[in-house]
Structure formats: structure tokens, C-alpha cells
Amino acid sequence: MKQFLLFVRKEFYHVFRDRKTLLLLFGMPIAQILLFGFALTNEIKNSKVVISDQARDEASQQIIGRIEASRSFDIERVAMNQAAVESAFKSGKIKLAIIFPANFNEDLMHHHNAKIQIIADASDPNTASTLTSYASAIIMDYQKDLLKTYSLAMNIHTDVRMIYNPELKGTTNFVPGVMALVLLLVCVLMTSVSIVREKETGTMEILLVSPFNPVLVVVAKAVPYFFLSLINLTVIIILSVTIMEMPLNGSVVLLYFESSLLILTALSLGLLISNNTDSQQTAMLISLMAMLLPTMIFTGFMFPVENMPKPLQIISNVVPSKWYYIIVKSIMIKGLGLRAIWKETVILGGMALVLLLISFKTFKTRLQ
Amino acid sequence: MSDEVVIKTEKLTKKFGDFVAANELTFEVHRGEIFGFLGANGAGKTTAMRMLCGLSIPSSGSAKIAGFDVYKQRDQIKKNIGYMSQKFSLYEDLTVLENISFFGGIYGLPDKRVREQARTLINELGLGKEADKLVGSLPLGWKQKLAFSVAIFHGPKIVFLDEPTGGVDPVTRRQFWDMIYDAASTGITVFVTTHYMDEAEYCNRISMMVDGVMKALDTPANLKKQYKAQSMDEVFFELARGAKRKAD
């Protein structure tokens, strides 16, 4: 045990003395979160909008006037009927449609209750939700002004419809995705490189000749990266909750537990890669290729897996980050507990276990 | 040097598929002896050495290292040997002192002994000022000396040196050999592979590997007499001439 701790301390020396790697280690998640966050939540200007004013009365014209005045919207045209709106969406030219039913003014004045329908193209979910909330805000403003003039509550009910992607996946999608990506990258890359480095410099031979248990060499190497990843995870969570306004509805303990499973999977993968490579460059390349692409493509935070052809959907099942992604979304956004995600947890845990076993089996305690 | 046998092999063989890297090696090495292991590249030196260190399992034959069997008692062997490879093998991003403590520690030496011995060692090597500097910043010669000291830090019975003086200037090499003599005089057996024929002269006995076979085994003086040679260089050429394997 004492030897083990000695080894772990040595690993920490390696990590902390390698400034560049350390910077990469902690800089990457922050940069990614901010990059993804701000790239996706930028203010939207001049989005093409179609307005279908079937009422053509005073109230509808007033609201249209306000929408026109907003810099967020660029009114493409005022269409008359539903079919025109639909064809505009299909052509992909417009992001939003606002539809005033006939008798809008009358409903508002006499029944104190009128409806406006807002339809958004949610295939770009962030834009869609931002645009609908802008439009709703303008309408609410108008409603408030009406209240001042008439001192009577007049409700304008906005009926928001998201088409193409009704669940609005994507708004909070990227945070769990980035979490998976960063944890995988850091752990796989760092462990594989640090083990291969010992092979390259020849210190691995010295270690294997020593009475120190070779399996503990590997375990000791994983320890610092495990802790660093937990720190990384904490930074990502804090950033995404404070700056990105990502919800954190579920149990934090559960989130860390599930993340530990992913980290374990990643460490095993890193070990597996290092068992089969002899140079740091190769290890780095394989780690990047094996991690970055499948994680980006199959996790589901960039491209929805449901929309992929069947064979790709099947392949996506072997990507650990896919399951982790589902788990994190369930915990953070939906606030679900272990009971709801036990299946994904078992799959992820199983992956970790299998990879760990294979990597220990292939770890060569003797050199050729 | 004493009569006590610390390495004893009997027809020790290592095959990789059809390729016989080391063929029926039979020899003995005594306590405190400096045993030179010579041969061209690819002659099978490193393979033989790795079998003796427990890094590679022999295909057949037997070997006892410090009285322990290479098949069954690897853990015991590991505790009783030191090893220094041809690559410089300390951690460059650790300080001199950290390297010593780390390697002392993984051999299970008590902290107190590590501390005291480290202090003595650093003084002996004249590294007093460099103790807290990163090993990477030291000149190569010093690194090699330090690596050797670390290899015998835990007081092994045998130390295996795999081309320890590669890339080192002649003065440092000479100093390095002084350290080897010092170690041998304390009873440590030194098993060393080398390319340098002048170094071969420093050894008590020399074995010469050609194509995986041990072609000669004697003192440098006897070998020169036997092959009517002026220097070890000539002996080496005489023996290696028949080699069929190309150097890798």
C-alpha cells in the first residue's frame, strides 16, 4: 500500500510538472463549454418571419407593427392562408410564423380572450425557442399596454408550436455532450499517453523488473486522472449551471456516481490503447480517433441518433458516451433518480467492467 | 570474487516461432564477479538478459538467479536484482532526490533507510547542489551514474546492465567503470552487456554470443591467448566473422 501511494504521488508530479498538458486538461472543458454555449445562445437578429393575418383588424395590425419594429424579425411577407405558411416552412426560408385567426380583434374586445398561433422551425432548437420567446414577449407587452388603456384584463393566448423537433432537444443538449466528450478525451488520452511514455523512456522495464506489482502500476497511473476528471466535471457543471443556465434538477451524488462509471470506462480504454501501442504519438492519435469521432457522431448531442439509418443506430449502442448522455440529461434536466435510469447505468457499468477486464488481460507484464 | 554461484543456467533457450534467439546457454557467474556479455547486435544478448531478469519466459532449459528459479520464483528474483537498461531510465521530470526515493520506495525499503542512504549517495556522487533539480537538466554522464546508483540502491545481489555506457564520453565511461568496480567489491555481481571492446577488458570474465549461441567464455587474457590476438577487438572479429544473422 505504501508503495502504491508512492507511485500515485509520482504520477501527480508528472501531471503537475507538465504545464502544457495541465493547461490543456483544464482549459479544454472551459473553452468548449463557453464556445458551445455562446455559439448556440447568441442573440438572434433579422430572422425571416411570415405573418398570416387572417383578421386584418386593428389589434392584429398593431401587433404586427410592433413585430416589424423589433430588430429580431425581418418580415418576409404577410401571407393570407395556412398553405402559404406551410410552403414557406418547407422551403426552409423562414424560421417563424405568426398566425392571427379571423376575428382576432373581436375576440379580444368582446370575449377578452384571443388566440395567436406561433409556429417555429425547431430543427434549429435554440433559434426556435429564442424567437418564440421574443415574439411572445412582444405580444405580452401589447397585452399589458391594453390593460393600461382599458383597465380590463384582456388575455391574448399565444399558442406556440414547435415543428420538426417538438421536444426542443438541443437547448440543453450540448452540456451533457461536452461533459461526455471532455471526460472521455481527458481520461483516454492522458492514461494511454502516460503509460506509453513509460514504455518509450524505458522506465516501464525498470518497473517490471522491480517487485512492484505491474497491475498496480496501471491502477496508480489511473488515480490522478480520475481525480482530475472529477475536478473537471465540477468545473463543467458549475460553468454550465451558472453561465449556461443549465438546470440541475436531479441528485448531484448520482451525477458524480454515473460520471465515475464513464471515467472508469475511459481509463480502461486508455489502458487498452496503451497495451497495443509503443509510441506516445500513436497512442495520442488512436485515442483521438477512437474517442472524438464516435463521441461526436454517436452520442446524440450533435446529430440526433433517432434520425440515423438503422445500422448506425445499432453501432451507436456500443459508444459509452451515448448512455452517459442519456443518463446526464435524465438527471440534470428531468431530475430523475436511479430508478428511471438503471438500465443505462447497468449498460455503462457493464462496459466499464468488460473493458477493464480486457485491458488487464492484455496488459503485458513481461516484455518480449 | 568468491566461489559462491549466483547465476547458473542450463541449456537456457528462447525461441520466437522458428527463430532461436538464444540457444542452449549454459554458464555460471560467481558472487562479486564482473561478467561481460558481448556480441553483435541481434546476437541474442538482450534476449538472454531478459530471461535472467524475469522479463521474458524461457522456452526451455533452466536458470537459477540468486538461488531462485526463473520459472517459479520470479518475485524472489525481482527483489534480489537491479536492472539498468540501455535507455536512460530515470524520470526526467522528477528531481534527483524524488527519483531515488521513488525507486527505493517501490523496492519496499523503509523511509528512514531511503532518506539516510539517499543523503550518502548524493554526497558520494557530488550532486549536493543538484539534489532538488530535475533529472532532465543533468548532463548525460551524471544521469547514467545516477541511474546505476539507483539500480543498486536496494542492495541487490546481482545488477544487470544492458549497454549502460552507450553515448557517454570516454572520461565518464571510465568513471562509470570505477563505480562498477566499487559495487563488485562490495559483493554485488555485475552482469553487463557492451559493444565497447575496451570495456570488455575490464571484465573478470567474458562470454561471446554469436547467432544466439555462446561461442566463447573465459577471462579476457585467456581469450586473447586462445585466439592469438592482441586485443579484444581481434577476438571479437575472429568470433563474429562466422555470424550469419544480420545486425538489426
**pLDDT attached to residue B246:** 55
**pLDDT attached to residue A236:** 86
Which conformational region is residue B2 in: left (phi greater than 0), alpha (psi within -120 to 50 degrees), or beta? beta
Q: What is the Cα–Cα distance from B35 to B17, expressed in whole angstroms?
A: 29
Q: At what angle do helices A2-17 and A19-40 cross, to 10 degrees?
A: 70
Q: In this model, does residue A366 exceed pLDDT 60?
A: no
B170: burial class by Cβ within 10 Å (0-12, 13-18, 19+)? Answer: exposed
Q: Give the residue range(s) of CATH 3.40.1710.10 domains in chain A.
A: 47-163
Residue of chain B nearest A203, judged by CA positions: B89
User: Across-strand partners of B36?
Assistant: B192, B206
Strands B68-69 and B19-30: unpaired
Q: What is the Cα–Cα distance from A60 to A142, expressed in whole angstroms?
A: 10
Does residue B65 belong to any structural domain of this protein?
A: yes
User: Mean pLDDT across chain A, nearest whole number?
Assistant: 81
Does residue B104 belong to any structural domain of this protein?
A: no
Find the CB nearest A208 among B55, B87, B160: B55
pLDDT-above-90 percentage for chain A: 9
Does residue B159 belong to any structural domain of this protein?
A: yes
Asked if residue A74 lies in contact with residue A47, where contact means CB atoms within 8 angstroms, the answer is yes
What is the complex's ipTM, to 2 decimals? 0.85
A302: CB partners within 8 A, 6+ apart: A177, A296
Does residue B9 belong to any structural domain of this protein?
A: yes
Q: What is the Cα–Cα distance from A174 to A304, expressed in whole angstroms?
A: 12
Q: Which chain A residues contact residue B83 at CB under 8 A?
A: 205-206, 209
Under the banding of pLDDT at 50, 70 and 90, the label for residue A39 is low
Q: In this model, does residue A292 exceed pLDDT 90?
A: no
Find the CB nearest A211 among B78, B90, B160: B78
Residue of chain A nearest B46, judged by CA positions: A368
**pLDDT attached to residue A171:** 47
Q: Which chain A residues contact residue B55 at CB under 8 A?
A: 205, 208-209, 366-367
CATH number of the structural domain spanning residue B159: 3.40.50.300
Strands B81-84 and B189-194: unpaired
pLDDT tens digits, one per residue of A118-177: 888 776 676 777 788 888 888 888 888 877 777 666 667 777 766 654 544 454 667 788
Q: Is B172 in a helix, a strand, or coil?
A: helix
Decide yes or no: CATH 3.40.1710.10 for domain A47-163: yes
- The dihedrals phi and psi of A81, each to the nearest 5 degrees, come to -125, 170
Taking the Cβ of residue A366 and every Cβ of chain B, the question of whether any pair is shorter than 8 Å is answered with: yes
Taking the Cβ of residue A209 and every Cβ of chain B, the question of whether any pair is shorter than 8 Å is answered with: yes
Q: Do residue A209 and residue B92 have CB atoms under 8 angstroms apart?
A: no
Does residue B162 belong to any structural domain of this protein?
A: yes
The residue with greater pLDDT, A260 or A29, is A260
**pLDDT attached to residue A215:** 81
Q: In this model, does residue A268 exceed pLDDT 70?
A: yes
Taking the Cβ of residue A5 and every Cβ of chain B, the question of whether any pair is shorter than 8 Å is answered with: no
Q: State the nearest Cα–Cα gap between A186 and chain B, in angstroms.
A: 21
Q: In this model, does residue A42 exceed pLDDT 50?
A: no
- The cell for B80 is 534480489
**pLDDT attached to residue A146:** 78
> Amino acid identity of B236?
F
List per-residue pLDDT tens for chain B, 248 residues long.
Answer: 567 889 999 999 999 888 988 888 999 999 999 999 888 778 888 888 888 988 888 999 999 999 999 888 888 899 999 998 877 778 999 999 999 999 999 888 898 999 999 999 999 888 888 889 999 898 888 888 899 999 999 999 999 998 888 778 888 888 889 999 999 999 999 999 887 888 888 899 999 888 888 888 899 889 888 888 888 888 888 887 767 665 44
**pLDDT attached to residue A368:** 40
In order of A258, B123, B204, B241, the CA distances from B227 in angstroms are: 72, 45, 18, 13
Range of the domain at B196: 5-90+140-240
Q: What is the Cα–Cα distance from A192 to A356, expressed in whole angstroms?
A: 14
Q: What is the Cα–Cα distance from A115 to A135, expressed in whole angstroms?
A: 14
Q: Do residue A13 and residue B50 have CB atoms under 8 angstroms apart?
A: no
Put the strands of the sheet holding A96-100 in their side by side order: A73-79, A47-53, A96-100, A113-121, A155-163
R_g of chain A computed on alpha carbons: 27
Task: Work out how many domains chain B is built from and give that number.
Answer: 1
Q: Which chain A residues contact residue B84 at CB under 8 A?
A: 206
pLDDT tens digits, one per residue of B35-76: 998 887 788 888 888 889 888 889 999 999 999 998 888 888
**pLDDT attached to residue A362:** 81
Element (H, E) at B108: none
Residue of chain B nearest A365, judged by CA positions: B55
In order of A68, A96, A100, A246, A324, the CA distances from A71 in angstroms are: 8, 14, 21, 27, 40
Q: Do residue B86 and residue A202 have CB atoms under 8 angstroms apart?
A: yes
